[in-house]
Each structure stands twice: as structure tokens, then as C-alpha cells.
Amino acid sequence: MRKLFAILLTLCMVFSFVSFASAEDVTITFAFWDNNQEPGMTAIAEAYMAAHPDVKVEVQVTPWNEYWTKLEASAMGGSMPDVFWMHSNQFFKYVTANTLLPMDFEYDYSPYPAGVTALYTYNDVHYAVPKDYDTIALVYNKEIFDNAGVKYPDDTWTWDTLLETAKKLTDADKGIYGFGAPNDRQSGYLNLIYQNEGFAFENGKSGYDQPATQEAIQWWVDLQKVHGVSPSQESFVDMGVDDQMQAGKLAMCFTGSWMMSSYTNNELFADKFDLAVLPQGKTRASIYNGLGYAGAASTKYPEVVKDFIRFCGSEEANKLQAEKKAAIPAYAGTEHYFTDNFTAINIACYPEMIAYGVQYPFSPNKSLWESQEEELMNEVYAGSKTVQEACNELHGIITEIEGT
Amino acid sequence: MTVSAKTAAPRLGRRERYDPKVVTAAFILIAPTIIGLLVLNIYPFFDTIRRSLYKTQGLGPEVYVGLKNFEKLFTDDMIGHATINTLLYMVLTVPVGVLLSLIFASLLNSKIRGRDIYRGIYFLPMVVAPAAVAMVWRWIYNAENGILNIALGALGIRGPSWLADPNTALIACAIIGIWSAVGYDLVLILAGLQSISKSYYEAAEIDGASGIQTFFHITIPMVSPTLFFVILMRAMSSLKQFDTIYLLINTRNPAYKNATVLMTLFYREAFEKFNKGYGSAIVLYTFVIIAIFTAIQFISEKKLVHYD
Amino acid sequence: MTTIAQPAAKKKINYRSRGKLIIHIILIIGSFVMIFPFVWMILTSFKSNGESLLIPPTFLPKEWLVENYTEVTRTLPFGALYINTLLLMLLRIICALVFSSMAGFAFAKLRFPFKRFFFFLVLTQMMLPNQIFIIPQYQMLASMNQLNSIFALLFPGLVSAFGTFFLRQFYMSLPNVLSEAAVLDGCNTFQIFFKIMLPLTKTAMMALAVFTAVFAYSDMMWPLIVNNNINMMTLSAGISSMQGQYTTRYPILMAGSTLAMIPMLVLYLIFQRQFIEGIALTGTKG
């Protein structure tokens, strides 16, 4: 018995110190979160390795939730991945803690959307090279339109056209709604706010007290609550707006370009939908956002990291990324590699809208008030607060948080 | 034959000296576990306590705020909601879950055919990935097309929007909690049941006791140590509940206030709002609640649990 | 004589078989509830992407697509995942059984100072949520340079508070007469532990082994955080890494989950006979 004990304990010790054999070459780790984009990122890594045989790039995918916990833990412990995706929501947290490697090299940022470049700039220093951008477009179900004999959406549409058409297409008996309007910001009411010439948050100031802003939000909420052209918020809990769209329950909805691979992978739906630019309010607007490639300040190979990131931002890498349907590449002129993948649909409207795109509002303290915004909107949908009350309250909260 | 002091019936009293050999042996035996606990768990616990006295801005420097986080705790009405929901969740899952496990374990203890197959089936919920569980149950609970509401519809009842209705969201999550745990508790109780000596049952039969009497007067007392363990574990884990509720109830859910529990609140504060200090305060608050319930259970152990 | 006894015997049989029938009915209803989500999961794993999202949902797949399974085996290195999971389970079981039986015995049977305090430490671990352990443990591993390894996977499970508590309960139910007799025979504490008490807990140890295995198996967050490479993941973590940021291809996720479930199920079926039946044989109750 004792012998067994001893053997077991030794086995424990032995097994526990198995670790990777270290390569003699330089190995850098490249971390990101979207499994759907893995082929694109791997292609970039392989292209770089082919050109630089002494460097090994290790791709690491971690799902969204765990990605940030891990990045944070690794930042505190000084063991961050060498290169990684950065998101606008998290940027400030990392840059103010000096965990990001400054991109202190001569670089031409003109091919990228100015907003995305600005997102990852702090105190006039660049900390990430733009990777991609996404915009919001109007997706519609051709079959539903055909069955009702209604003309497809086009670029002449306004808010009124949207509402009218939605009403025509709503058929409660069949369980079909004209337009999906969930409690959502980036793919939802934020677009309308800017189309109505209001603003949500700019230069440290909240725009939620603006009449134009409140009006836009009201219009969005009314789609559900007053006109009944949208399913209820409860139903969005059961099934998200994109799932409902793909299930044929909605005639139209707004959706981001990142959803395109999911829509086209659904073989029952792929040939039933098409895209149009967002309808216009007083002006045109579509919310855009973009990811960036960042490096760790604590990396052992800063020059290699910078070189790799430069490569990621290059035209060639953007082409690779786009070919694998990852996302709309940030490098101007390479969008068509992305859009070429989707010949059946009017995918071009996504890149088109960047011309009048509005950067998804961000601030260092956004995380502190964003969830309060969600909770307040929850109450609006539940009927316990009016849009005005919620917005004014939110305005107070933001002003207090950002004011400090 | 003289009975040495070591083997005499233990006399209570702190004055009685410890046997140094036994004490040394005891310390050696508990050393690995205690050292492990101190390093892996107690140290983080102290770190959490320390953190609750600070306010952190993301990764940045911490600011000492003393007891401010705790002040906030008592004025934040989300904490009030979360506390009620957490306690409610415990009340829903523990009695029902343990009772069901007890019933099924008793049934599986009897001589019926196909017993092994049943045991395998009841154990299944334990072996499936939580992500898949959440997804499947979300479909089951779908208001219009989920199997649950369709079945209710066949009986003429209009099922609610389970996950979005403030009245039912927590109950829906509790059902998933019970479903996942029954197999687990059942295995434990079954082990306890099987160790009850047959002689008791034989004696009862001779005395002419009915099935129900036997159950209450023999089975339950004899299995009470196991039951105590199961109830204690179930209570602790229900108060710490996180996974299912986090996956199914997000902040845009109309029922958010009625289904958010202390641990999901903690996670959101610490990892989504980057407010680790406040999050740590929530953890400590939860710990105190759990400790209170645990203490209550240990006190009742003395009165209700029958050890040989 | 026999003719009078027979009707009485017949009545008894009817009562018993009716009782058994009722038991079966209850168990079958319960089984249905337990098993339904799995049936759903497995059926979905054979459906196409589009079909899995249909409203109203279909029950049986229109076409049984095996491609989902081939794709998931292509995407995830199942071989590595199975090995890592089994290795992790084995290591954690060893640690839990060895250390917890030692400590469980001590807490149950030995008298020593500060016993209550130490036991309170054990309880404390069980009363705290796991999330607060993640980052400190991560940092400890980082400073030991042991990230992305099997040791990292094992780390949180090096000791088991649950196991200690569980075995303590069991040891408490073992009668003291046995150890008292051994003491008279001149045995020291370790001998009492190894030779007398430990062997009596075989079945509880097997139960603990099963539970430890299940805990290790279902931990999906820790491997994702502490290991980087998909080849160093466990089954649950590997499967949850298939979730995209915005969309998940459900049928493939279900196929992965089904494949992941199989080893656990097999293990359990093998063991459950052992430890449940086994308890009756050891007959510790007097």
C-alpha cells in the first residue's frame, strides 16, 4: 500500500512538469477571440512565416468572455500574448496601464478609416494598427417581400418608408413582423440618433438630453410598442434578432457586417435575403467600429512584434483576411476581396456606408455607464419609464461619471 | 485488562492532553491539504478582502476607499434584488432537488429490472457541457415553439415566456439547476441507502411496519448523514450559482432584475465594469450569507443527524 | 393446506407487481425529463445549420448529416482533447483521493489542537465562489512559468476541500472499535489509517473519484484562461471555444458536445456498478 502511495505521488510530480519544448527560433503568440475568423488570421500568420523563416507565429483563439479575463490576468502577470486584437471598449483600460506597445514607427495610416485609427490613438501615439471595420446595414427577406408584392428597399428609403413598409408586411396571424427592433445600441437606435442629427456621446459629453436624440430613440421603441411592427422584447430574449431573421420571422432588420458569414452559412436562408443601405433620417449615418492589432509592452521581441503588426496592416494581409470572409478589411481598396465572396447579395452597401459612418461612441469610462444604459432601456421597454425619463437619467449618470 | 486512557470512551474537556504521537501524525496527514488550501484558496480570499477596501480603475492604480464599497453595497438596490433572488433560488432548488433525488434514489434502490439503465440515464445531466445545456434549455423554454409550451398548449394552458417573464425567469433557471443536480445527488444518496444494513428492514418487516413507516422511521434516519451532506452541498452551490443564469439572462432581458443573483452581479461588476473592489465586496457579502446558512445546518446536524 | 395458502400468495404477488409497475412508471417519466435535452442535442447535431434555427423547430432531422461530426473532428483535435481530459481527470483523482483521505481520516478520527480551525479552512473554500481564485492562481502559475501545461490544468485541483469533507463524513461513520482494537495491538496512527480505515472506504473513494472526474471534466473556463493552445485544452474548453463572438453554429457545437460526452458516460457506467454495489459488500454498518 505504501509503495503504491509513493508511486502515485511520484507520478503526480513527473506528469506535472511536462511543458512545451521551446523553439530555438523566435516564437510570438498571436491571440484573438473569434473562431469564425481563425482561417483568416492563420493565413496571415502563415504568409508572414513564409517570408520570415526564423519567426514562428502561434495562433491562439479564446472565446470572447474568457479572452478578456485571460488578457487581464496576463497583463497583471506580465505574460501577455505578443500580438493580439484590441477592441474599442477595452482599449483605454490597457493603454492607461501602459500594457500596450507604442507603434512608434513611421507608418501611413491614410488607407484606414480615420475613426478607427483615432480609436487606438492615445496622447497622439498610435497603439494599434487598424484591422477591420464593420458597419450596419438593412437586411431584408426577399421571399416575404415577394409574397406581399412589395418593392425591395433601396437607397431612397426614409424612416417613413421603413415604417410604412413594415406595417404592410406585418402579418400577426402568420407570426411575421415587418421589422425587428430589439433593445440594441450598435445595431439599433444609435444609428437613428445620428441620422436624426442628435448624438449619443462626443468629446466627453453626453447627448442623451438632446431632443433629437430622444426623438430617435422614441421612434425606435415605438416600432415595438406603438406600431407593433416588431416582435416584443421578450421574444428577443428567446431568440435574437438575427436568429429570428434567419428563421423567416422578420421581413427586415438592421444587422452588422460581421453577421454575414452566419447568414450565408445558413443554407436555408442564404438565397432568401439581400442588403440595402440604411434608410435616411434627416441625414445618413451608420455606426461603425473597428478592431486593431496591438502588441504587448512586455513582449520579449518588440521589433518582431512591430514588424508582424505592420504586416497585418498591409494590403496583402488585409487581402488574406478578406478572402477568408473574416471581416471588412480596413485597408482602403481591399474591400472588394471581402465583397467578392458574397456575389449573391448587395454586400457592397456595407463598405459604401463608411463614407458617412459614425464611430461607435467610446470613452475610457464607458463600461461604467453602458450597463446602466441597458438597464434604463430595459425599464423603458418594460413600460416603467418613458424614453425621456430614461434618457435624462442616463444623461445625469454619464455627466457625473465622465465629468470627474 | 486495563483500558488505557487512549481507548477509554472520550471524556469531553479541553484539559485532556493530546497524545503527541497522534497529533504529529494528524498534522502530517492534513498538511498537504491545508497547505494547498492556504496557497490556492485562502490567500486569494485574503486578497479579495484587501481588494474590497479599494477602488480600481481597470488595470490602473488602486485607490483606498475604506468601507465605501460596503456602503454602496447597502444602498444599491440591485444588491437587494440579487439577494432576494439568490435566496429564492436556494429555496426553490434545495428542497425540491433533494426530495426528488431522495425519491428517485429510493426507487432505484429497490429490486426492479433495468436498474442499471435507469441509473445511467439519471446520471446523464452531469456529463454534458454547460454551454450545450444552456442552449438546449433555451430552446425548450422558447415561448412560442419550445417543447414545454407546446406540451402545455396541448393541455390547454398558455405557457409564459419562461426566460423573459419576470415571474418565471428565476423558476425556469431553478428547474435547470434541479435537473442538472438530481443525478449527482441521487448517486450520493443511493450510496448512503445501500449502506443501510438489511437487518433493520427485516426487523421492521417482522414488526409489521408498512412501507411508508419503514421509510420514515428507518430509511430517513439511517441515511441522514448522507442527506446532511447533500443538503449542505446543494445549499452552498445554489447560493453560489452562476453559470446557467449568466448564460441565459443578460442585461437586456426584461426579467433581469428578477433573475440576477449575487454571483452574476459580482461577475458583471468585476469583469465587465472593471470594478474589482466593489465586486470583492459582493463576494464577501455572499460569503457571509453562505456562512450563516452553513452554520445553521451544522447546528441542526447535532439534533437531526444520526451517526452510528 | 396448500390450497388455503395459495390465494394469499397470489394476492401478495399482485400487490408487489402493481407496486413495481408504479415505480417503473415514475422512473420512466423521470427518465424522459432527464434524457429529453440529450435527445434534442443529439438530433440537432445531425441537422443542418438552417434547420436547427427553424421555427417551429423540427424534431427529427430532415437529413441525417454526418458532416457535422466530420467537421468537428476536423476542427478540434479530439485526440489531444481526450488525452488531456483523461490525464487531467486521472491526476486530479489521484491528488484528491490521496490527500483527501489523509485529511478526512484525520479530521474524523484524530484528536489534535486547532482541529476546528483547520476544518473551517476546508469549509471556507467551499463557501467561496470559484471566480475569485482564477486570477491569483493564474499569476502563481505565470510566475512559476508553468502556464500552458498539464500542471496548469491540474493546479486548482491539487487539493480538494470537497473531497476532504466528503471523506470525513464517511470516516465518521466507521465505528471506532476497529481502531481501538488496533491500538491495543500496538499499531501507530499511520498503520491504523493505511491498514484498517482506508481499505474500508473503497466505495466512498470510488464515488469521490467519479465526482472529481466530473468536476474536472466540466470545468470549461479555467483551461481556456490558463492554456493557450487548442492542443492543451480539455474537451469542455475545446467545445466552448467553438463559440464565435456573435454566432455559433449550433449543430456543430452539439456534435462536439455529444462526442465529448461519451468518455464520461462510459467511465461512469463502468464505475457505477463498482461503487454502488460495492458498498453493500463492505458492510461497515454493524
* Residue A235 resides in a domain: yes
A296 - beta bridge partners?
Answer: A100
* Residues 213 through 252 of chain A touching chain B, CB cutoff 8 Å: 233-239
* Residue A1 resides in a domain: no
CATH number of the domain encompassing residue A373:
3.40.190.10
* Residues 28 through 47 of chain A touching chain C, CB cutoff 8 Å: 29, 31, 33-36
The whole-angstrom distance between C22's CA and the closest CA on chain A is 37
Evaluate whether A313 touches A293 at the Cβ level (below 8 Å): yes
Q: Do A96 and B58 touch (CB under 8 A)?
A: yes
Q: Do A367 and B253 touch (CB under 8 A)?
A: no
Q: Where do we find the cell 401478495?
A: C12
What is residue C151's predicted lDDT score, i.e. its pLDDT? 92
Domains of chain A: total: 2
Q: Where do we find the cell 446532511?
A: B228
Q: Do B164 and A68 touch (CB under 8 A)?
A: no
Counted across chains A and B, CB pairs separated by less than 8 A come out at 77
Evaluate whether A276 touches A155 at the Cβ level (below 8 Å): yes
Asked if A162 and A242 sit in the same domain, the reply is: yes
Q: Do B38 and C121 touch (CB under 8 A)?
A: yes
Domain that holds residue A65: 26-134+289-333
pLDDT at A293 over 90: yes
Q: Do B195 and C279 touch (CB under 8 A)?
A: yes
Residue C154 in contact with partner chain A when CB distance is under 8 A: yes
Mean of pLDDT values over A94-109: 90
The whole-angstrom distance between B308's CA and the closest CA on chain C is 6
What is residue A12's predicted lDDT score, i.e. its pLDDT? 52
Of A376, A13, A377, nearest to A225 by C-alpha is A377
Most A CBs within 10 Å, among C224, C242, C247, C250, to test the A interface: C247
Chain C hits for A69, Cβ within 8 Å: 134-135, 221, 225
Q: Concatenate the DSSP letters of all residues of A84-145 into one string.
A: EEE-HHHHHHHHHTT-BPP--S----TTS-HHHHHHTEETTEE-EEE-EEB-EEEEEEHHHH
What is residue A129's predicted lDDT score, i.e. its pLDDT? 94
What is residue C260's predicted lDDT score, i.e. its pLDDT? 84
What is residue C268's predicted lDDT score, i.e. its pLDDT? 72
Tell me whether strands A177-180 and A250-256 are parallel, antiparallel or unpaired: parallel
* Residue A4 resides in a domain: no
Of B153, B151, B171, nearest to B162 by C-alpha is B171
The whole-angstrom distance between A106's CA and the closest CA on chain C is 32
Q: Do B144 and A175 touch (CB under 8 A)?
A: yes
Evaluate whether C87 touches C231 at the Cβ level (below 8 Å): no
What is residue C20's predicted lDDT score, i.e. its pLDDT? 79
Give the CATH number of domain C76-241. Answer: 1.10.3720.10
Residue B86 in contact with partner chain A when CB distance is under 8 A: no
C107, C110, C123 member nearest B25 (Cβ) = C110
Residue of B nearest to A91 (CA): B58
Asked if A232 and A368 sit in the same domain, the reply is: yes
- Per-run averaged pLDDT (10 residues), chain C, 286 residues: 47 65 86 86 85 76 86 86 90 94 91 92 91 88 87 92 88 80 82 81 81 83 85 84 68 85 76 56 38
Most C CBs within 10 Å, among A27, A35, A235, A249, to test the C interface: A35
A31, A63, A247 member nearest C243 (Cβ) = A63
Residue A373 in contact with partner chain C when CB distance is under 8 A: no
Q: Do B122 and C30 touch (CB under 8 A)?
A: yes
Asked if A161 and A38 sit in the same domain, the reply is: no
**In terms of pLDDT, which residue wins out, A392 or C4?**
A392
* Residue A13 resides in a domain: no
pLDDT at A58 over 70: yes
pLDDT at A339 over 50: yes
What is residue C283's predicted lDDT score, i.e. its pLDDT? 37
CATH number for B72-304: choose from 1.10.357.10, 1.10.3720.10, 1.10.10.410, 3.30.470.10: 1.10.3720.10
Of A339, A156, A148, A160, nearest to A257 by C-alpha is A339
Task: Name residues of chain B where pLDDT drops below 70.
Answer: 1-15, 57-58, 60, 306-308
Give the integer Cα–Cα distance in Å for A378 and A397. Answer: 16
Asked if A158 and A251 sit in the same domain, the reply is: yes
Give the integer Cα–Cα distance in Å for A312 and A41. Answer: 9
Asked if A160 and A58 sit in the same domain, the reply is: no
What is residue C4's predicted lDDT score, i.e. its pLDDT? 47
Task: Give the model confidence (pLDDT) of A200-233 as tens digits.
Answer: 988 888 999 999 999 999 999 999 999 989 998 8
Evaluate whether A90 touches B59 at the Cβ level (below 8 Å): no
A15, A34, A60 member nearest C228 (Cβ) = A60
Asked if A107 and A43 sit in the same domain, the reply is: yes
Task: Give the model confidence (pLDDT) of A130-148 as tens digits.
Answer: 999 989 999 999 999 999 9
What is residue B243's predicted lDDT score, i.e. its pLDDT? 82
Where exactly are the structural domains of chain B?
A: 20-51, 72-304
Asked if A279 and A299 sit in the same domain, the reply is: no
Q: Do C150 and A70 touch (CB under 8 A)?
A: no
Residue of C nearest to B140 (CA): C37
What is residue B308's predicted lDDT score, i.e. its pLDDT? 55
Residue B273 in contact with partner chain A when CB distance is under 8 A: yes
The whole-angstrom distance between B186's CA and the closest CA on chain A is 31
User: Does ipTM come in above 0.85?
Assistant: no
Residue C143 in contact with partner chain A when CB distance is under 8 A: yes
pLDDT at A19 over 60: no
Give the integer Cα–Cα distance in Å for B68 and B74. Answer: 10
Task: Give the model confidence (pLDDT) of B184-215 as tens digits.
Answer: 888 788 877 877 777 778 888 888 877 778 78
Q: Do A15 and C138 touch (CB under 8 A)?
A: no
Asked if A75 and A52 sit in the same domain, the reply is: yes
* Residue A17 resides in a domain: no
Give the integer Cα–Cα distance in Å for A60 and A20. Answer: 15
What is residue C276's predicted lDDT score, i.e. its pLDDT? 53
Q: Do B280 and C166 touch (CB under 8 A)?
A: no
- How far the first Cα of chain B sits from its last, in Å, is 26
* Residue A222 resides in a domain: yes
The whole-angstrom distance between A37's CA and the closest CA on chain C is 9
Give me chain A's average pLDDT, please. Answer: 87
